[in-house]
Amino acid sequence: MGAKLAALVVLAAFLAGPAACEGASICFNGWLRLPTYNPWLCSRGSRMRSLPRQRGPYPSGLGLGNGYYDNRWSRSYCPRAEGIVRGAVRDAVAAYPGIGAGLIRLFFHDCFVRGCDASVLLTTTNSNNSDTEREGLPNKNSLRGFEVIDAAKAAIEAACPGKVSCADIVAFAARDASYFLSNRRINIQMPGGRYDGRESFANETDQLPGPFSNVTELQATFAAKGLTSDEMVTLSGAHTIGRARCMFFSSRFSEMDPAFAAKLRAECNGNDDTNVNQDDVTPYVLDKQYYRNVIDRKVLFTSDAVLNSTETMTQVRENANRAGAWERKFERAMENMGKIGIKARADQGAEIRKVCSRVNN
């Protein structure tokens, strides 16, 4: 693990920019756990985090609307748009359910950095920089679903060019992945009308909550985006699907349910790059099992385990025990997250991209 950790330390140092440091062991907003305090890394170009952060304005979604592309009198008229996205997601999830988890995560990682503007998709920007969000520590070599977004975009451009933003496609894809992975129990009302951003920077991915975050850090990170503590607990439930690298939880084996820890040790087999299922019970179903896992100490990340605390345990138990409670809250939280920092007009330094990975000329 030594070589891999050293590489991560070097990468974090280059990305440090506005990275925050907490205490003596957590850097890059809970994405990197250091074995000892490293003042050079945590102070170089960074600032100590002052918690709690001031809550940002609750996402308004001004300019968005349900059925946005269905108005035949609008210049954005593209009635097949949402159906095309749903078809692309349906086919992808049917072929490999894990891609659905990737699409939900892609939406989350887009909205928490620069708002829901598809900046997470960019490899070519207005500033001509190559260190985009895709290269940031939380995203590099871990984001999935780009090919689904690209396929949907290509089909939509063929049907009605220049009408539908990549940001809306990302949002619709997360909505549809949630629908299919929940066996059609989750139906998110996801409005459209977002425009695409023209900038993307790796060092801004420090705004994403990391696997080593504690409750206070999680609450502060979500509050900065205008979301509540309850929405933080609700959206964490997406960890009932998807996979995770052993490097992000192998230090926690002693804190887990012993039988669960033994199973994970065997699966990881000393390789920090091994991926395992986040939910060992229903790994391909978006359901409330995550909250039972929190209670039973069968979750991977520190950021999952800390929800078993006095501040959040009431919500965890309610989500675990009340039929349909978490699903309804997840629908609302995903809709609200989709309203973070939207660009609803082209004159706000935004556009409708022709290709999702690069800005228009």
Q: Which is the catalytic residue, given 33, 49, 105, 109?
A: 109
Establish whether 109 is a catalytic residue.
yes
For residue 203, give both structure tokens: 């060092």
Per the CB < 8 A criterion, the answer to whether 211 and 30 are in contact is yes
| 158 CB neighbour count, 10 Å cutoff | 9
> Is 216 a known ligand-binding residue?
no
The Cα angle at residue 175 between residues 174 and 180, in degrees rounded to 5: 95
Alpha carbon distance 172, 89 (integer Å): 9
6 sits in the region (left: phi over 0; alpha: psi -120 to 50; else beta) called: alpha
Per the CB < 8 A criterion, the answer to whether 171 and 92 are in contact is no
Please list, in sequence order, all residues whose beta carbon lies within 8 angstroms of the beta carbon of residue 240, skipping any fewer than 6 positions away.
Answer: 278, 279, 282, 285, 286, 287, 288, 289, 290, 293
> Is 273 a known ligand-binding residue?
no
> Is 115 a known ligand-binding residue?
yes
> Is 338 a known ligand-binding residue?
no
| 152 CB neighbour count, 10 Å cutoff | 27
> Is 279 a known ligand-binding residue?
yes
For residue 241, give both structure tokens: 């699907």
> Is 117 a known ligand-binding residue?
yes
> Is 239 a known ligand-binding residue?
yes
> Is 52 a known ligand-binding residue?
no
Task: Report DSSP letters for 108-171, one per residue.
Answer: HHHHTTTSSSSGGG-SB-TT--S--GGGSTTTTTT---HHHHHHHHHHHHHHSTT-S-HHHHHH
> Is 351 a known ligand-binding residue?
no
> Is 170 a known ligand-binding residue?
no
Annotated binding-site residues read 110, 113, 115, 117, 119, 133, 209, 239-240, 279, 282, 287
Annotated binding-site residues for heme b read 239
Annotated binding-site residues for Ca(2+) read 110, 113, 115, 117, 119, 133, 240, 279, 282, 287
Annotated binding-site residues for substrate read 209
Active-site positions read: 109
